[in-house]
Amino acid sequence: MGFFSKLLKKKELPPVDLSALETDLHSHLIPNLDDGVKSVDESLEIIGELHKLGYKRLITTPHTNELYPNTKEQILAGHKTIEQAVNKANIPIELIVSSEYQIDFSFIERIEKDDLITFGDRNLLIELPFMNPPSGLKEVLFELQMARYRLILAHPERYSYYHNDFKFYDDLKNRGIKFQINISSLAGHYSPAAQNVAEKLIKEGMVDFIGSDAHNMNYIEKLKLALTNKHLHALMTSGKLKNKTLIK
Ligand SMILES: [Fe+2]
């Protein structure tokens, strides 16, 4: 490494102030529903950290997928438990519940039953399978949009099968799908490739929301590491982020 690049590397940016976001829209803070927190205490610890980071409101999003086929009733009951614990612990933060829905062909049934928990104005957080692109994806997205759901794709940077095909991201954006990247992706939490794609999506102006996707304290530690990332700084001042506008 040359002298000047060493010098540049030393010049660290100050940590980003996340309070401007107001709302986090992606986390796994209800025990016994998915691979997120294991207890109410763990949930409270993370919620306390997110409060300290400046968030005023958390939309927590337990998984709904084949592995965790949660029902609306289970999710709402879990929300009540954590909401009461937050109040008892006097953490001044609003806790809203929704879910992170994995999209596959069987999802059409759920749309027909209208069994989905939205947040704000019919927003829905969706994710794709990690191994392969889902069959019938375009049809399912179309059905959801016809049913007037506003779709937010969770962590587009994590679907490795699209990493070398950026046209896929353009196509989704052209369909009106919003993108939510994970803050910790910028600290390399998942992989160098996911970090690169997250940075590229920021540079291309394609990121609408950023989320914690907090499952446990490790996610909070990684999120903190990302706060000095220059791409996160650029995104925070870009005027593109819409976290604040989700719940009015
Ligand atoms: Fe998630």
pLDDT (0 to 100) of residue 192: 97
Cα–Cα distance, 120 to 35 (Å, whole number): 25
Q: What are the DSSP calls for 107-146, one per residue?
A: HHHHHHHT----BTTTEEEEE--SSSPPTTHHHHHHHHHH
Evaluate if residue 105 carries a pLDDT over 90.
no
Contact 152, 209 (CB under 8 A): yes
pLDDT (0 to 100) of residue 102: 95
pLDDT (0 to 100) of residue 107: 83
Cα–Cα distance, 118 to 161 (Å, whole number): 28
Higher pLDDT, 22 or 108: 22
Ligand 1: distance of its center to the CA of 146 in Å? Answer: 25
Q: How open is the CA angle 241-117-124, to the nearest 5 degrees?
A: 30
Ligand 1: distance of its center to the CA of 212 in Å? Answer: 9
pLDDT (0 to 100) of residue 108: 80
Ligand 1: distance of its center to the CA of 121 in Å? Answer: 20
Ligand 1: distance of its center to the CA of 154 in Å? Answer: 7
pLDDT (0 to 100) of residue 83: 98
Place of tokens 């704000």: 120
For the chain, domains (ranges, CATH) are 17-243 (3.20.20.140)
Read off the pLDDT of residues 29-42 as tens digits, 9 standing for 90 and up: 999 999 999 999 99
Ligand 1: distance of its center to the CA of 180 in Å? Answer: 11
Ligand 1: distance of its center to the CA of 137 in Å? Answer: 19
For the segment 238-244, the average pLDDT, to the nearest whole number, is: 96
Read off the pLDDT of residues 7-30 as tens digits, 9 standing for 90 and up: 556 567 999 999 999 999 999 999
Cα–Cα distance, 176 to 124 (Å, whole number): 13
pLDDT (0 to 100) of residue 145: 95
Contact 169, 142 (CB under 8 A): no
Contact 21, 183 (CB under 8 A): no
Can you give the three-state secondary structure of 37-54, one letter per residue?
CCCHHHHHHHHHHHHHCC
DSSP state of 3: H
Evaluate if residue 222 carries a pLDDT over 80.
yes
Residue 247's identity, in one-letter code, is: I
Ligand 1: distance of its center to the CA of 107 in Å? Answer: 17
pLDDT (0 to 100) of residue 2: 65
Ligand 1: distance of its center to the CA of 142 in Å? Answer: 22
Average pLDDT taken over every residue of the chain: 94
Of 64, 101, 48, nearest to 217 by C-alpha is 48
Which of 14-18, 105-109, 201-205 has the lowest average pLDDT?
Answer: 105-109
Cα–Cα distance, 84 to 46 (Å, whole number): 15
- The whole-model pTM stands at 0.94
Ligand 1: distance of its center to the CA of 99 in Å? Answer: 9
Cα–Cα distance, 97 to 217 (Å, whole number): 20
pLDDT (0 to 100) of residue 248: 76
